[in-house]
Amino acid sequence: MSPSSPQHPPPPPANGGRLLVLYASQTGHAEEAAGRVGREAERGGCPAVHVLSMDSFDPRRLPGERFVVFVVSTGGQGDPPDSMKGFWRYLLKKNLDARWLQGFRYAVFGLGDSRYQDYNVAAKKLCKRLSQLGATKPIIGIGLGDDQHSSGYEKALAPWLLSLWNSLNRTNPSLLPRIPDIINPNLNNLGDAKGRNSKKLIRRARSMNPALKFHNDGEPQYMLKMVTNQRLTKKEPERDVRHFELEDQSSAIHYQVGDALEILPSQNPSAVNAFIKRCNLDPDCYITIRAKGGDKYSKDSPVNGLMDRIKLRTFVALTMDVASASPGRYFYEIMSYFATAQHEKERLHCFATTEDEKERLQKKRLQKERLEEFASPEGRDDLYQYNHKEGRTVLEVLEEFPWVHMPFEWLVQLTPPLKKRAFSISSSPLAHPNQIHLTVSVVSWLATPFRRKHGLCSTWLAGLDPNEGTLVPCWIHRGSLPPDPATPLVLIGPGTGCAPFRAFVEERAVQRVKEPTAPILFFFGCRNEDDDFLYRDFWLHHAQDNRVLSVEEGGGFFVAFSRDQPEKVYVQHKIREQSARVLNMLCSGAAVYVAGSSTKMPADVRAALEEVVREKGGDAGWLRKLERAGKYNTETWS
């Protein structure tokens, strides 16, 4: 079998035309899954694939699309993503009749969390509404990804995609996948990007990588200098939370409270060099990325001359996540084809071998068989254990299969792209117009008893020395509208969930100098008062002397130290203890914000608030009404 002809390629759409993939994502998972749909379709030969966020697509054009794949996430409380709300409002218009989408073919994949009652409700409602509008023949049934499964949403997505491609392929025989014509090395050392500043170089490199085609990064909005790197936690070395201050020394930064800062991290140069060496690449050659037929992946890149080339080392460092992300199943499938080709070639040329040669060929054969097992449906659980649960990176996988050599053409497409990381901003632009503050937990975990893994971006930030002047590529990600100064606030944010609320409090403190502001009731939680009471002095300062968190002003600051007594105490316990204050705030029209870990905390907090309302004779559906009014907001992360 030719290594460029996988056994089960994804087909193009049945009419050989455009496949539209629309996603609605809140935390980035649906966008990631939609990108996978698009990449598999392109690798399968689909002549036109467009992956768009729902808020960038005009829903009036929907009847003109023959094949559409929807990838939709659902929030923990059943909320559709913000990017879906306008699209959904249009679909609910009364003037759309039952023939509006007649003949329309579609497929829906949902991402949700089965711990919640409204599991994948956004995707289910979308299916029902499309059917009501005349789209009665989906390409395949709805796919439901569950964040609680040990393999995450991937467990459902992989077989669902295979069914999707098979269904489309029955209408139109598949086009064989192809190795893309993407690399054109120039071995002359022409200097490293003369005349280009950092922003333009980042944009150029990332616009050239086909795996980033659907991410639309653009040029970084800011290159910010780190001026403060302060550790907030004390004793436990594995619990390292940092306060970072990033600054634009020449101008103000345009953001608002509730926004997030997206950062493109730098990879460890030694890991980049190890990847390049393992793949037998020339780090100083210049490459050109072109699509099949000579078209550029990036319309912004000139076709001729030095400016359409980039040094290979720079390209890898800025676009290919070689030492942090785990590769996908398709990576192992393609590796198995190249292992097969190499093994068969050597077998034909080794009729008489020494014992060392026989041993080497035996090892190669075993590696080929292991890769084929990983790529098979039967090996999915073993692959999950090896690849995801144990946190294997692309570099580690390549090093563990040293006799398999994939061409760079394939590595560019199959290596996970280097993605931006988003962090809640913990400062107010009114207090710090040319700075952004972040509260970041430095991620570290044991993948196996002998292998400790580290988060790429948080570890990189923690290692930056403010005196060295390192510039951090940044983008502002708009959040929901900040609360009006006249709206009372109930904030619940244990751990680093306090980050956006530090910004809220700073903002109110500045605003109330000029005008009266509504009170803030804040519930914070941590393990120990002495070890990880983040921003202790800040909160206590604003809780005194009639400031924004003071009881005298109608607010309050209450802390749950979970490990300082025999029984665990969490924020939900403090909410129940202060039930009268909480109810008074809710009756005064307060908005509720919950931020922090996506494990049990959000559900426990909601249950505590519902209990407070019920005990005082309130309506059990009060919180649901707050949600519909945009006054119950949850921001969580795993």
- Give the Cα-Cα-Cα angle 328, 449, 233 (nearest 5 degrees): 95
3 pLDDT more than 50? no
**Are 494 and 385 in a shared domain?**
no
Q: 498 among the known binding-site residues?
A: no
Q: What is the mean pLDDT of residues 389-406?
A: 92
- pLDDT (tens digit, 9 = 90+) per residue, 529-547? 999 999 999 999 999 999 9
* Residues in CB range of 510: below 8 A, 6 or more apart: 428, 430, 431
Of the two residues 169 and 269, the one the predictor is more confident about is: 269
In Å, how far are 193, 272, 291, 410 from 307, measured between CA atoms? 8, 23, 17, 24
Q: 423 among the known binding-site residues?
A: yes
Q: 76 among the known binding-site residues?
A: yes
SS3 assignment, position 129: helix
Q: Give the separation between CA 160 and CA 139, rounded to whole angstroms.
A: 11
* Residues in CB range of 21: below 8 A, 6 or more apart: 34, 37, 38, 41, 49, 50, 51, 52, 68, 69, 70, 71
**Are 618 and 505 in a shared domain?**
yes
Mean of the per-residue pLDDT values for the chain? 84
pLDDT band at 4 (very low <50, low <70, confident <90, very high): very low
pLDDT band at 171 (very low <50, low <70, confident <90, very high): low
Q: 569 among the known binding-site residues?
A: yes
**Is residue 208 situated within a structural domain?**
no
SS3 assignment, position 145: strand
**Is residue 289 situated within a structural domain?**
no
Q: Of 575, 636, 629, 578, whose CA–CA distance to 607 is shortest?
A: 575
342 pLDDT more than 70? no
Q: What pLDDT, on the 0 to 100 scale, is given for residue 136?
A: 85
**Is residue 144 situated within a structural domain?**
yes
- pLDDT (tens digit, 9 = 90+) per residue, 56-108? 899 999 998 878 999 999 876 677 888 898 999 999 998 998 899 998 999 99
Q: What pLDDT, on the 0 to 100 scale, is given for residue 344?
A: 52
Q: What pLDDT, on the 0 to 100 scale, is given for residue 294?
A: 40
Tell me if 113 sits within 8 A of 148, measured CB to CB: yes
**Is residue 470 situated within a structural domain?**
no
Q: Give the separation between CA 353 and CA 349, rounded to whole angstroms.
A: 9
157 pLDDT more than 70? yes
**Is residue 109 situated within a structural domain?**
yes
**Is residue 36 situated within a structural domain?**
yes
Q: 539 among the known binding-site residues?
A: no
**Are 27 and 152 in a shared domain?**
yes
**Are 166 and 23 in a shared domain?**
yes
Compute the radius of gyration of the chain from its Cα atoms: 27
Q: What pLDDT, on the 0 to 100 scale, is given for residue 162?
A: 84
**Are 383 and 520 in a shared domain?**
no
Q: What pLDDT, on the 0 to 100 scale, is given for residue 133?
A: 94
Q: 579 among the known binding-site residues?
A: no
Count of domains in the chain?
Answer: 3
pLDDT band at 296 (very low <50, low <70, confident <90, very high): very low
190 pLDDT more than 70? no
Q: 152 among the known binding-site residues?
A: no
Q: Of 114, 149, 171, which residue is a domain's last? A: 171
Q: 496 among the known binding-site residues?
A: yes
Tokens representing 538 are: 């800040």
CATH number of the domain at 542, please.
3.40.50.80
In Å, how far are 234, 531, 582 from 564, measured between CA atoms? 15, 10, 25
Q: What pLDDT, on the 0 to 100 scale, is given for residue 579?
A: 93
SS3 assignment, position 424: strand
- pLDDT (tens digit, 9 = 90+) per residue, 106-153? 999 999 888 777 889 999 999 999 999 999 889 999 999 988 776 677
Q: What pLDDT, on the 0 to 100 scale, is given for residue 262?
A: 95
400 pLDDT more than 90? yes
Q: What pLDDT, on the 0 to 100 scale, is given for residue 173?
A: 45
Q: What pLDDT, on the 0 to 100 scale, is given for residue 501?
A: 97
Tokens representing 276 are: 């390049």
**Are 500 and 374 in a shared domain?**
no
Largest CA distance in the chain: 91
Q: What is the mean pLDDT of residues 189-216?
A: 69
Q: 75 among the known binding-site residues?
A: yes
Q: What pLDDT, on the 0 to 100 scale, is given for residue 364?
A: 78
357 pLDDT more than 80? no
* Residues in CB range of 434: below 8 A, 6 or more apart: 247, 248, 249, 251, 252, 253
Q: 562 among the known binding-site residues?
A: yes
Q: 270 among the known binding-site residues?
A: no
Q: What pLDDT, on the 0 to 100 scale, is given for residue 308?
A: 65
Q: 316 among the known binding-site residues?
A: no
pLDDT band at 172 (very low <50, low <70, confident <90, very high): low
Q: 470 among the known binding-site residues?
A: no
**Is residue 568 situated within a structural domain?**
yes
**Is residue 632 situated within a structural domain?**
yes
- pLDDT (tens digit, 9 = 90+) per residue, 558-577? 999 999 999 999 999 999 99
Q: Give the separation between CA 246 and CA 225, rounded to whole angstroms.
A: 5
Tell me if 605 sits within 8 A of 632, measured CB to CB: no
Q: What is the mean pLDDT of residues 398-417?
A: 90
Strand partners for 417: 320
First to last CA, the chain: 42
Q: Of 171, 197, 217, which residue is a domain's last? A: 171
What is the share, in percent, of the chain residues with pLDDT greater than 90? 50
- pLDDT (tens digit, 9 = 90+) per residue, 575-627? 999 999 999 999 999 999 999 987 789 989 999 999 999 887 777 688 888 88
Q: Of 375, 390, 405, which residue is a domain's last? A: 390
**Are 22 and 152 in a shared domain?**
yes
pTM for this model (two decimals):
0.77
Q: Give the separation between CA 454 and CA 273, rounded to whole angstroms.
A: 19
Q: 572 among the known binding-site residues?
A: yes
Q: 456 among the known binding-site residues?
A: yes
Domain that holds residue 570: 489-637
Q: What pLDDT, on the 0 to 100 scale, is given for residue 150?
A: 65
Tell me the helices (H) and strands (E) count for the chain, helix number first: 19, 20
pLDDT band at 363 (very low <50, low <70, confident <90, very high): confident
Question: Amino acid identity, residue 478?
Answer: R
Q: 256 among the known binding-site residues?
A: no
521 pLDDT more than 60? yes
pLDDT band at 328 (very low <50, low <70, confident <90, very high): confident
Q: 292 among the known binding-site residues?
A: no
